[in-house]
């Protein structure tokens, strides 16, 4: 009986691995095809075979130098890094206040802020655009960054994590004479590093792939980010498939690199920060 049960478990496990492998192949094949096409010679993108016969880096060189994607890439790095950093800092400071401080109507204010997540993001586009236009920020980096620095989801995620930090550590620091900024910077933030890294990754990814807002507030090609530049490039060069695939491959490089280096913090942060411990 035990041998039969083990055989059934092994069969179920094998079927599970087969199903997961098949799902991974289906999900990753478009990325594989994109990378392969990016290395093909122009005009050979639909040739039979999974691998390019004469692979070349020239598609990437042309995209970066001839079509301005080096500038688009730099703009995206500036916007995504600065927005991700400041959004994470502001969310962590707000989470610290809601987690460790006491003030009037604290929980009601927190619930009101969280309720704003129920409003579709497109509802904010018109008032944000009106404010940016009134301030004279059109075609500037601040228009691309500042309107999205309030991260309600980040506030929720960080507060959930900070609520698990032992209050005895904070009380001991207060007894030793530490003020709020010292407690925040020397105790709470180091202990919250996994969830902070996770939030930064989320914010960076959002701003890196943000297309609609960057298209609305920028009319100068010199300020295009990668998603906007890629859309314009596809529209103007519909038949250049190898170059389009090279540009698309360039657009995902930062997200892949950051995730590879920060995946330990990302997994730990999601596991510990999603729910109270």
Domain ranges for the chain: 59-273
Is residue 272 pLDDT above 70, yes or no? no
**Among 40-44, 74-78, 110-114, 247-251, where is mean pLDDT lowest?**
40-44
Q: Select the more confidently predicted residue: 259 or 136.
A: 136
Quick check: 194 and 70 in contact, CB under 8 A? no
pLDDT averaged over every residue in the chain: 86
Write down the pLDDT at residue 63. Answer: 87
Write down the pLDDT at residue 271. Answer: 59
Instruction: Provide φ and ψ at 188, rounded to 5°.
Output: -70, -50
Site of tokens 């995946």: 263
Query: Residue 2 — very low, low, confident or very high, per pLDDT cuts 50/70/90?
Result: low
Query: Residue 86 — very low, low, confident or very high, per pLDDT cuts 50/70/90?
Result: very high
Which run of H or E residues covers position 86?
Answer: helix 69-100
Write down the pLDDT at residue 184. Answer: 92
Q: Select the more confidently predicted residue: 262 or 114.
A: 114
Read off the pLDDT of residues 189-232 as tens digits, 9 standing for 90 and up: 998 888 898 889 889 989 998 999 999 999 888 899 999 988 88
> What CATH number has the domain spanning 59-273?
1.10.3720.10
- Residue 10's CB: how many other CB atoms inside 10 A? 10
- Residue 212's CB: how many other CB atoms inside 10 A? 12
Which token pair is 149?
A: 């620095």
Write down the pLDDT at residue 108. Answer: 93
Q: What is each CA distance from 249 to 35, 36, 187, in whole angstroms? A: 6, 10, 40
Write down the pLDDT at residue 270. Answer: 58
Is residue 260 pLDDT above 70, yes or no? yes
Is residue 273 pLDDT above 70, yes or no? no
Write down the pLDDT at residue 112. Answer: 93
Write down the pLDDT at residue 275. Answer: 47
Q: Of 63, 56, 69, give the one whose Cα is nearest residue 240.
A: 63
What is the average pLDDT across 26-44?
A: 86
Q: What is each CA distance from 24 to 19, 27, 31, 120, 205, in whole angstroms? A: 9, 5, 11, 31, 22
Write down the pLDDT at residue 276. Answer: 45
Whole-model pTM? 0.82
Query: Residue 154 — very low, low, confident or very high, per pLDDT cuts 50/70/90?
Result: very high
Read off the pLDDT of residues 38-83 as tens digits, 9 standing for 90 and up: 888 887 777 777 777 888 888 888 888 888 889 999 999 999 999 9
**Identity of the highest mean pLDDT range in 1-5, 21-25, 121-125:** 21-25
Residues 138, 13: Cα–Cα separation, whole Å? 56
């Amino acid at each position: 009986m035990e041998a039969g049960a083990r055989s059934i478990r092994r069969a179920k496990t094998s079927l599970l691995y087969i199903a997961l492998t098949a799902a991974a192949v289906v999900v990753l094949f478009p990325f594989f095809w994109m990378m392969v096409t990016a290395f093909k010679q122009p005009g050979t993108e639909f040739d039979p075979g999974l691998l390019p016969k004469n692979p070349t880096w020239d598609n990437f060189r042309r995209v970066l130098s001839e079509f301005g994607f080096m500038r688009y890439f730099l703009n995206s790095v500036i916007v995504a890094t600065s927005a991700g950093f400041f959004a994470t800092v502001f969310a962590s400071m707000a989470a610290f206040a809601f987690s460790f401080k006491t003030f009037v109507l604290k929980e009601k204010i927190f619930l009101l802020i969280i309720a704003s997540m129920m409003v579709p993001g497109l509802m904010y586009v018109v008032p944000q655009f009106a404010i940016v236009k009134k301030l004279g920020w059109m075609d500037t980096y601040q228009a691309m960054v500042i309107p999205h620095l309030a991260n309600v989801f980040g506030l929720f995620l960080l507060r959930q994590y900070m609520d698990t930090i032992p209050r005895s550590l904070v009380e001991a620091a207060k007894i030793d004479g530490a003020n709020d900024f010292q407690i925040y910077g020397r105790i709470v933030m180091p202990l919250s590093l996994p969830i902070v890294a996770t939030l930064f990754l989320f914010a960076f990814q959002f701003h890196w792939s943000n297309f609609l807002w960057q298209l609305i507030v920028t009319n100068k090609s010199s300020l295009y980010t990668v998603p906007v530049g890629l859309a314009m490039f596809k529209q103007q060069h519909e038949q250049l498939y190898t170059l389009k695939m090279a540009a698309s491959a360039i657009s995902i490089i930062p997200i892949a690199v950051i995730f590879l280096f920060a995946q330990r913090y990302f997994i730990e942060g999601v596991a510990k920060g999603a729910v109270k411990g």
